[in-house]
Amino acid sequence: MIKAVIFDMDGLLINSEPFWQESEAKVFNSLGLDVNKKMFEQFMGKRIDEVVEGMYKMTPWNHVSKEKVAEDIVENVIRLVLEQGECLAGVTKTLKDLKKASFKIGLASSSRMKIISAVLDKLQLREYFEVIHSAEFEKYGKPHPQVFISTADMLGIHPSECVVFEDSLNGVISALAAGMKCIAVPEKNAFNRNKFIISNKVLDSLNDFEIVQFTNL
């Protein structure tokens, strides 16, 4: 029986993936690195420190620390969130329906907590979440399951009684590895969209979600 629902944030609650792509391209290009769409999708759902480390391993740079690179990207993302951030379709209705039905609701994001705070305040969604957790406080980020396991623990619910909403393949892998059900809401033109069949259900949008779907997971 499902008792708790855990949401990812980037690309699910807010269309922030373009903000990440723009910010990463800007900072990495300033270091003389070339970035492309396949790289963005490879790192989608991962923590920014892991993205920077991955880029550094592929194309090392000099004179600027990895920590400074990550911080520059984060600050640019926050600026774009505050300037342009909007809820994705179906988000508010889904959260209202789940809250009305007395499900416990958590947020488990790879983003740093200061980005999470900027998003929740910009979109006015903070009131819906009993637990807000960032993978920056875990030893490993997604696709490792710990961020979801910790969020379930903070909610006081066993992982087997949780369902996760995710838009990234790394996030889906993380949720399933945590022993949770997972509903995927991938980007419509994601190059790896066919791989989302590993999730328990795939939706085109949160507009397509109804609570009764939990009974068929």
Q: Which residues are tagged catalytic?
A: 8, 10
**If we measure between CA atoms, which residue out of 13, 82, 70 comes closest to residue 46?**
70
**What is the rounded distance in angstroms from the CA atom of residue 113 to the CA atom of residue 119?**
10
Two structure tokens written together for 212: 């009764």
The Cα 141–Cα 139 span in angstroms is 7
* Residue 39: closest CA among 54, 61, 18: 54
DSSP secondary structure code for residue 134 in this structure = E
Kind plus residue range of the DSSP H or E element containing 50: helix 48-58
**Helix, coil or strand: residue 117:** helix
CB 143 within 8 A of CB 45: yes
Query: Could you tell me if 67 and 112 are in contact, meaning their C-beta atoms sit under 8 angstroms apart?
Result: no
Residue labelled with tokens 């329906």: 97
